[in-house]
Amino acid sequence: MPFTALLLNASVAFTGFYLISKLYHSDRFGSFRFRGFLIGLMTGGLGLFLMMNAVQANEEVRVDLRYLPLVLLAFYGARFPLLIATVIIASTRFLFGLTDQAVVAFIATFVIGVGMWWIHRHVHRLLLQSMLLHVWALVITSISILINLGWNTAYVEIVLTFWVVGLLVGTLASLLAIDLEQMTRRSKEYKHSAERDHLTGLFNRRMWEERTTSLVSERRAYNVLALDIDHFKHVNDTYGHPNGDLVLKRFAELLKVETRAHDVVARIGGEEFVILIYDLSPEKVVKVAERIRERIAVEAFVLSDGTSIRISTSIGIAHGSALPVESMSSIADSALYEAKDKGRNRTVVRRANAHMLVPN
C-alpha cells in the first residue's frame, strides 16, 4: 500500500511539473512578480494535494512526496515562488492536526527549501544539481520521520520504500525537468531567430509588419521614424563590411538605449531602421529623434582594429492616427529623403491624416 500511494503521489507531481513549467516559461504575464506569486500558489497547492494523498504511517505521522514541487522551483532558481510554496506546504501541514509531528514537518520543510536554494546556487551541472535536490529532500524527510516515528520496523519499512520510490521518481523528475528546460530554450531560440534580425537583435521586417497591423483599428496617435546611417556605403568601402557590421550593431544598441521598452524598433534593410512610438505629439517625438541623432553624432564607433570613427544619421518622422502603417512609412520615408536633401544629420517631421499630408 505505501508503495502504491507514493507512486500516485509521483504521478500527480509529474502532471504538476509540466503545468508549473509551462507557466514559469510563459510570457503572457506582464508582471514578473505576479507570475511568481501565481507559480508559488500553484506549487503550494500541489504540495497540499500530495499531503492529502499521503501514506498514513500511524495516527499522526504522514509520509508523502510534498517536496517534489519544491525541487522544480529550486531547479529553475525561482526564489520568490519557492519561498511562497515552502510557506504554504509547511503551514498547511497543520490542517492535519496541531501536533509535535506537524511541528517537525513544518521545520523540515523549511530546511528542505533553504538547502535546495543553496544547492541551486552552488551546483551548476543540471543533472547532478537535480539529483542532489532530491537526495537532500529524502535525507531531511527521513530524519523527520525518524524523529516522529522512532527507530522500529515500521520506520525501516516506510523509509526504504520512500527512498526506492524517491530515487526512482527523482531520476525521472530530473530527466523531465532538464528536458522541459532544454525544449523551452530551443523553442525560445527558434522564436527569437524568426522574429529578430540576425545581426543587430532588433525586430526584423516580418515582425515589424506583424506588430503594426492593428494600428488602424487602435485609432491611437502614433509616430513612425525612418532612420538610416549617412554615407554608410563609404563606411563599408573604406573600412570593410565586417567593420560596417560593427557599426550597425552599435547603432542598433543606441536606438534601444534611447527608446522606451514598449517602442518597436526594427531593422528592415541594410542601414535602414524604423521605430514605432505611440502617443507622443510631434513636438515631443522630435525631441526623442533629436536625442537619438545627437547621441549617434557624438558616439565613437570602435572598429575591429581599435580605431574609432564618427557617423551621423538622418531621421524622417510621420505623425498621425488611424492610418495604415504602409502610408505612414511612406510619409516617413519622404521626410527622410527631405532630411538628406537638406544636408543630412537632421530630423524632418510631417503630420498626416487620411486625406492630406502637411509638412511641419
Q: Which residues pair with 274 in a beta bridge?
A: 226, 266
Nearest partner of 147 among 117, 107, 116, judged by Cα: 107
Whether the CB-CB separation of 140 and 111 falls below 8 Å is answered with: yes
Q: CA 330, CA 70: separation in Å to the nearest integer?
A: 54
Do 157 and 57 form a contact (C-beta atoms < 8 A)?
no
Does the annotation mark 218 as catalytic? no
Q: Which of 209, 271, 299, 338 is catalytic?
A: 271
Q: Helix 232-239 to helix 241-257 angle, to the nearest 10 degrees?
A: 140
Paired strand residues for 320: 222
Query: Active-site positions?
Result: 271
